[in-house]
Amino acid sequence: MLPNRYANKVGPFVFLDYVRPAFKETITKNGMGAHPHRGIATLTYILQGEVEHFDSAGNEAIIHSGGAQWMKAGNGIIHDENLNYDSQTESKFIQGFQFWINLPATNKAEKPAHIAVQAGEIPKKEFPNESGWLKVIVGSYEDLSSKIPNYSKQFLYHIQLKAGAQFPVAMESKTEVAAFLPIQNVVLNDTEFQAGEFIEFDKAPGEIEINNTSLITVDVLLFGGEEYTEPVVAEGPFVMNSQTEIATAYRDFYAGKYGEIKLTAQK
Q: Where residue 265 falls among pLDDT bands split at 50, 70, 90?
A: low
pLDDT at 29 over 90: no
**Phi–psi pair at 237, nearest 5 degrees:** -90, 10
Residue 177 contacts residue 223 (beta carbons within 8 Å): yes
Cα radius of gyration (the chain):
19
Residues above pLDDT 70, as percent of the chain: 99
CA distances from residue 263 to 53, 60, 78, 79, 267 in whole angstroms, order as listed: 10, 8, 13, 11, 8
pLDDT at 266 over 70: no
Helix (H, G, I), strand (E, B) or coil at 101: strand
Residue 12 contacts residue 154 (beta carbons within 8 Å): yes
Q: How far apart are CA 56 and CA 74, in angstroms?
A: 13
| Range from 46-55, 82-91, 141-150, 222-231 carrying the lowest mean pLDDT | 82-91
CA distances from residue 141 to 196, 240, 261 in whole angstroms, order as listed: 25, 29, 36
User: Burial level of 176, CB count in 10 A (0-12/13-18/19+)?
Assistant: buried
pLDDT at 176 over 80: yes
pLDDT at 267 over 60: no
pLDDT at 25 over 90: no
Show the domains of the chain with their CATH numbers. Answer: 13-26+34-226 (2.60.120.10)
Residue 153's region, left for phi above 0, alpha for psi from -120 to 50, else beta, is beta
Q: How far apart are CA 182 and CA 219, in angstroms?
A: 7
pLDDT at 28 over 90: no
Residue 12's region, left for phi above 0, alpha for psi from -120 to 50, else beta, is alpha
| Range from 26-35, 79-88, 158-167, 246-255 carrying the lowest mean pLDDT | 26-35
Q: Where residue 40 falls among pLDDT bands split at 50, 70, 90?
A: very high
Residue 31 contacts residue 80 (beta carbons within 8 Å): yes
